Structure formats: structure tokens, C-alpha cells
Structure 1
Amino acid sequence: MRLHEFQAKDVFAEADIPTPPSALATTVDEVVEQAERIGYPVAVKAQVHVGGRGKAGGIKLAEDEEEARDAAESILGMDLKGYQVDKVLVEGAVDFKNELYVGVTMDRGEGKPVAMVSTQGGVNIEEVAEENPDAIAREHIDPAFGMHPYQARKVVYDAGVPKELARGVSSVLTTLYDIWEDSDASDAEINPLMVTTDDEIIAADAVLNIDEDALFRHPEFAEYETEAAENDLEAKANEYGFDYVRLDGNVGIIGNGAGLVMTTLDLVDYYGGKPANFLDIGGGAKAERVTNALDMVFSDENVDSVVFNIFGGITRGDEVAKGINTALEQFDEIPKPVVVRLAGTNAVEGREILNDELVTVEETLEGAVQRAVEYAEDEQ
């Protein structure tokens, strides 16, 4: 479960990580009211689960009431990378001189949590990792003992954080690790962790993603769960019990198994396309579940084509084929081109059942992905 920035900041502030004064608003008048209460200048920040909000126009600074009203009118209701903004965070602007990054996640290759610090905060940390990996200092943590104070100090010094800031950044990182561990989180990040002109440290952004399988241990997050679904698509995913993540591309992807879906995403990217989503319908999916998955993907206005990648094991190919036919026969006209690849149990029977007037059938995954990418390009 991905928490919104304002929710994550509530958790961080409760743990004594410094955050700017802020308040949530859903109308223009509320934005102005909260801005005047907090005091100008303020930042008006769209509360959606996407990166690059500032570049996309989802974060604006306001020096006075007129600018706050203009910012609210511009951001509330806007479509931000496929998400409609219905709430914003009004936050006191920070007069800063430097931006850092601190984060904790699981390094699956090492099988351990890893704490990360970089002096190149305020930008997409994935880009930093790809273009200049040495700019991110890392320290693996033994989960049996937690983060030792010396480890927090070491990774901060390795990152090149100035000595006068090291103690404060180490303290924030230690607290962030405790939050990550205690919350059963998958990711906990502050980007940027701002250094003010007075050498104070403030979390200007906050990311906290909770492992959904552990939510039963965390009743304190129950109030956040109803707001975890960012839009109708994610609400549908929760209702149907799908593992779903919306992405920025236009090739819809459906598969039965996380590894299979990830492979399909990689191939879409390899063949020049852009994935629109991650959608895993699960290993035992039958006709009704497949129908629900297609309904979800067709509901995404960003999708220009759909690739369906099914490997029959628990899921029989003929059951999947029936589900695809059932879903598509509901439409007078198929809204998006659909490409299907079936392999494994009863795959031959499934391919024979599929209505090739409604879908394109490919025997190989590579062929299916290439065809879906071509269809998506034709639709643009």
C-alpha cells in the first residue's frame, strides 16, 4: 500500500523527523485558507502517486493569496500523468541551500535491508543510480540487529555529507530505518531532505510503501487504506484482488504471475514500447477473473493496445480463452486491439477457442509483444 505524501509525513512527524507545517486541501478556498494560516510563501503540491510532479506542473510556489489561488485552480482537477488531482498539500516553503536523499529498502540480491544516502537529492534517484551510481552511498543492515549507530554515521560520511550536518542526517536515517522496520514497509524515502540556510534538516517530501500482506499487523494504517486507491482503476484492482500498478505508457499488460508480467514489461520496453501497467491476475485465474482484468485495462484511457501473456499451469489455457471471448463479446466494437499469447496447459485448445475476429493470436511472447507495440504506435 502506497501512502500519499501527506500520510507519510504524518508518520514521519510522529517519529520526530522534522517536516514543514502543512495541511490538506480539496478546494481553492481551502488552499487559500490553509496558506494564510501557515504563512507565505507556501508550496501547493498535488497528492498523487507519481514522480516528477514538479516538472509536470503538479507543484507550485505561492508568495501571496493571488498566487495561492492561481496555483490551486491550476492543480486541482488537473490530469497528472493519467491521475486526476482531487487534493493538494499546502506546505510552508523551505528556504534551503542543499538537497539530500535518504532511503531504506530491501536489497533482494543481498537478502538484506539497505540504507542509502546521497548528496544529489531533489531529483529522480533512479536516474542518479543509473547515471552516477557512486553518488549513492549504501550500507547493508543485518535485520536481526537493526541499524547500529556507527552504520548510520558511516553511510552518511561515505556519501560526503558535510561534518556539521552528519549528526542530524544520521539521526534522521536511523529513525527512517526504525519506521521502515516497524511498519513492515517495502520502501521509506525522503527526497529531498532539505538543508536550510540555518543548517536545519527538514523532510520536504516523504515516501512510505507498506507491504500489503502485513497490514493485518498494523491497525494504525486502517484509516489510510481507503485512500490508498488513487483512482477508479486502483479501486477496481482492490475490489478484484489484483496486483496492479499503473505506469506511464500505452501498452496494457495482463499476465498470470508476477515474473511473467515483469518479463512482458521488459520486452515491451525492449521493442520500443511503453508499458501502461503491471497487472497480475494470479495463478488460478478463470473466466470471470480474466473478464475483470480486461475490463480494468480497457478502462484506462492511456492504453492503446493490450498484450495478454498467459502460461498455463494452474490456469488452463482453454479457461483463459473462454474468459477473453466472454469479455470481448460484450462490446459492439473492441475498444483497443488485443494480442494474446497462450502457452502451457491446454494452450493449443485455448488458441483454437479464441475468437480470432476479436483478438490477434501469437504463439511466441516476442511476437505478441512486437505486435502489441505496433498496434499502439498505429493508434497514436
Structure 2
Amino acid sequence: MDIHEYQAKEVLAGFGVAVPDGALAYSPEQAAYRARELGGEKWIVKAQVHAGGRGKAGGVKLCSSDSEIHAAAEGMFGQKLVTHQTGPEGKGIYRVYVETAVNIAREIYIGFVLDRTSQRVMIVASGEGGMEIEEISATKPESIVRTSVEPAVGLRDFQCRQIAFKLGMEPGLVQHMVRTLQGCYRAFTELDATMVEINPLVVTGDNRILALDAKMTFDDNAMFRHPQISELRDKSQEDPRESRAADRGLNYVGLDGNIGCIVNGAGLAMATMDTIKMAGGEPANFLDIGGGATPERVAKAFRLVLSDKNVQAILVNIFAGINRCDWVAEGVVHALREVQVDIPVVVRLAGTNVEAGQKILAQSGLPIIRASTLSEAAERAVGAWKNDLAQATRVRAVV
């Protein structure tokens, strides 16, 4: 789960990380008012979207008057911000953050991530802040400092000092850097984050260290432990299909293909997607309905997949161990009778009660295409889609 910049700053500030003064606004008039409240001579107006690269896309504006703030905010609200991370569809701007401008003497990059190879929290830092870490890695890899944290003892102050020294921090700022790194680490571990990124972390002209931008991502599976964080979720920034699935307890990731997938088990779902590709098709989604594939849950999965207008065929692939094939078959029949489905549906069942499941499908009277193996199911799903596509093309040609 991602959160907005202003929310990440509020969270990090609670752990002792210094941030510039700022305030949230939901209209151009409120943005100008917020600037007057903050005081100062210059302000930054920042679009609040879940994406990087906002500055290059026009989502960050430096302003020096009420009229400039109003104009900048008015040009953002209701617009789609398109960056290299959002894709061509962009993300809507519904709130902006107004922040007091600071005199920047130096920019630094700081990131905390999970290194799955070493099974440690990895701190990645660079003296070349203000750029994406991918760009830093490509252009100045020698500037990157990496430090792993031993989970048994946590981040130690001497490690923080080593990072500060390697970044060339002035002696008087080293202790400030230690507090900043320790605050980020505590936020990372105590809140079950998967990423904390400050880019840039700036040294100001008056020798302060401030988090000028901040991003945080959290483990969805741990949010039951942190209701104060889960409440920060902004569904307007998420794929509506994925948001709808999460609300229904389904594991879903939207893709760009046209063969919808309904599968139980993450590994089997990945294999199903690969097999569809090998058969000449493109999967429209990753969907794991989990171990408790009751008829109601299968029906929910069908409605979710059909909500994607790009889906032109559906492949149901269930290996019943914990599940029962007859339950899944009942769910498929129930869904097809409840929801108007005018695209091919291929079902492959294997495992517990498979004969009973196949019987339910056969006696339903519905145009369900059955398959015995995964490869056969993928070939039939892709073939059915191509046949429907060819028929539609012929109809358009006749008309």
C-alpha cells in the first residue's frame, strides 16, 4: 500500500525526521490560504499522486505570490498527471501540498528497502540526490552507498555515522544524519513498511537536514496491525479493479491482455499466465482466489474479471486440494447464470471431487468449454478468443 508524500512526511516526523513546514489543500483558494498561514516569501505547490517524476511532469511548482499559488493549483486540480511511473493513463490530482521553500545547499538520496537476497533491511544512499535511483545507478554508480542491517541488533549508530562519512557530511551534521536514519529505520520496521525513500534529503543553507520529499510503501498483509496507516489509503490512486478485489479479499493485479484468469494459488496463477502466453494469448490479469474457493467467492471473481472491458475470454484453472472441484463448478455455474457473459469461458478442474465438478458443468446446459490439462485449457481459451474475434471481424465486414 502506497501513501501520499504529505502523509509519509507526517509519519516520518513522528519518528524524529525533520521536514519542512507544509499544509494540505483541496482547492486553489485553500492553497493560497495555506501559504499565508505558513508564512515566508516562496512556496512549493506539489500535486499529491502516487507516482515519482512529478517535477518533470509539471506536478511541482515554485511560487512567490498568492496569485501564482492559485494559478499553479488551479492548473493541477482535476487534471491527470502523466509520469514515467503512471503510464499513459496518468493519475488524477485531487489534493495539493503547499510547502515553505527552503534554501538548498546539497541534495542526498536515502532509501530503505528489503533485500531478499540477504534477508536484511538494506539502506541505499547517494550524495547525488534529486534524481531517480535508477538514473543515479546508471550514471554515477560509484556514488551509491549500501549498508545492510543485522535484524538481531537493528541499525546501530556507528553504521549511521559511517554512511554520513561516506556521503561527505560535515562533522556538525553527522549527528543530525544519525537521527534521520534511525527515525527512518524505526518507521520502516515498526510499521511493516517495504520501502522508505527520501529524495531529496537536503542540507539547507542554515545547516539543517530536511526531508524535502518522502515516499513510503507498506505490506498490505500487515495492515491489520496498523489501522492508523491503513486509514491513509487513497483508492482514487489505485487501479479500480485491484481496489475492488482487495475489498473482496481477492488477490488481483490488472494487466493489459484480453484473457481473464481465475486461478487458486499464486504459483498456479503465474503458470497459467505463462501458458496463455505460450499459446499465443495475453493474460488480462493475475487473480488468485485463494484456498477457500466457495461458490460465492468464485462468483465474485467472475464479476471482477468481467468488469475489465478488455477481457474477451476467461480461463478458470483450479487445482483442488483444500478446495473442492464441485464447489468451484457450482460457483462457475452460479456466476454464469447471474452475470450476463457473452464471451468464451474455459474451465479446467483437477483434484478433489473432480468427477462431480465435471458433471455439474456438463449438466448445467451452459456453453462452458472444458479442458483436462492446463496447456489444453490455454489453447482452447486462446482459440475461442481468436474465433470470436474472427467472427466479429466478418460481421463488421458484412455490415
Partner SS for 2:61: strand
Indicate if the aligned counterparts of 1:255 and 1:279 stay in contact, CA closer than 8 A. Answer: yes
Q: Which runs of 5+ in 2 are unaligned?
A: 390-399
Aligned with 2:183 (options 168, 171, 175): 175
Residues 359 and 177 (structure 1), Cα distance of their counterparts in 2 relative to 1, 3 Å cut: farther
Partner amino acid for 1:151? Q
Alignment-derived partner of residue 118 in structure 1:
126
Aligned mates of 2:191, 2:304 — CA distance in 1: 30
Q: Which moved more, 1:253-262 or 1:343-352?
A: 343-352
Q: Which moved more, 1:280-289 or 1:261-270?
A: 261-270
Indicate if the aligned counterparts of 1:341 and 1:364 stay in contact, CA closer than 8 A. Answer: no
Q: How does 1:33-112 map to 2 (within 5 A)?
A: 33-38=33-38, 39=40, 41-80=42-81, 81=86, 83-112=91-120
Q: CA deviation at 1:103?
A: 1.9
Aligned residues: 369
Q: Which moved more, 1:358-367 or 1:189-198?
A: 358-367
Q: How does 1:142-221 map to 2 (within 5 A)?
A: 142-157=150-165, 160-164=166-170, 166-218=174-226, 220-221=228-229
Structure 1, residues 319-376: CA drift from partner, whole Å, max 9, x if none? Answer: 5465456545555565xx77867464377966994999688989439957x959x98x
Aligned mates of 1:273, 1:98 — CA distance in 2: 50
Indicate if the aligned counterparts of 1:260 and 1:309 stay in contact, CA closer than 8 A. Answer: no
Alignment-derived partner of residue 375 in structure 2:
364
Aligned mates of 1:130, 1:272 — CA distance in 2: 35
Q: CA deviation at 1:12?
A: 1.1
Aligned mates of 2:139, 2:268 — CA distance in 1: 28
Indicate if the aligned counterparts of 2:129 and 2:200 stay in contact, CA closer than 8 A. Answer: yes
Indicate if the aligned counterparts of 1:100 and 1:191 stay in contact, CA closer than 8 A. Answer: yes
* Structure 1 residue 22 corresponds to structure 2 residue 28: no
Residues 322 and 151 (structure 1), Cα distance of their counterparts in 2 relative to 1, 3 Å cut: same
Aligned mates of 2:377, 2:132 — CA distance in 1: 31
Aligned mates of 1:271, 1:200 — CA distance in 2: 59
Aligned mates of 2:305, 2:198 — CA distance in 1: 32
Partner amino acid for 1:34? R
Aligned mates of 2:360, 2:115 — CA distance in 1: 44
Q: CA deviation at 1:10?
A: 0.7
Aligned mates of 2:286, 2:54 — CA distance in 1: 21
Aligned mates of 1:358, 1:20 — CA distance in 2: 60
Same amino acid, percent of matched pairs = 36
Aligned mates of 2:272, 2:135 — CA distance in 1: 22
Residues 47 and 332 (structure 1), Cα distance of their counterparts in 2 relative to 1, 3 Å cut: same
Structure 1, residues 169-206: CA drift from partner, whole Å, max 9, x if none? Answer: 34311221111122232222212223334453221222
Indicate if the aligned counterparts of 2:15 and 2:186 stay in contact, CA closer than 8 A. Answer: no
Alignment-derived partner of residue 7 in structure 1:
7
Partner SS for 1:19: coil
Aligned mates of 2:368, 2:69 — CA distance in 1: 50
Residues 89 and 292 (structure 1), Cα distance of their counterparts in 2 relative to 1, 3 Å cut: farther
Residues 181 and 57 (structure 1), Cα distance of their counterparts in 2 relative to 1, 3 Å cut: same
Residues 294 and 332 (structure 1), Cα distance of their counterparts in 2 relative to 1, 3 Å cut: closer
Residues 61 and 4 (structure 1), Cα distance of their counterparts in 2 relative to 1, 3 Å cut: same
RMSD in angstroms over aligned alpha carbons? 4.4
Structure 1, residues 263-294: CA drift from partner, whole Å, max 9, x if none? Answer: 67788999999987654322322332233234
Residues 126 and 242 (structure 1), Cα distance of their counterparts in 2 relative to 1, 3 Å cut: farther
Q: Which runs of 5+ in 1 are unaligned?
A: none
Alignment-derived partner of residue 396 in structure 2:
none
Indicate if the aligned counterparts of 1:256 and 1:282 stay in contact, CA closer than 8 A. Answer: yes
Residues 204 and 327 (structure 1), Cα distance of their counterparts in 2 relative to 1, 3 Å cut: farther
Residues 175 and 340 (structure 1), Cα distance of their counterparts in 2 relative to 1, 3 Å cut: farther
Q: CA deviation at 1:147?
A: 0.6
Indicate if the aligned counterparts of 1:169 and 1:201 stay in contact, CA closer than 8 A. Answer: yes
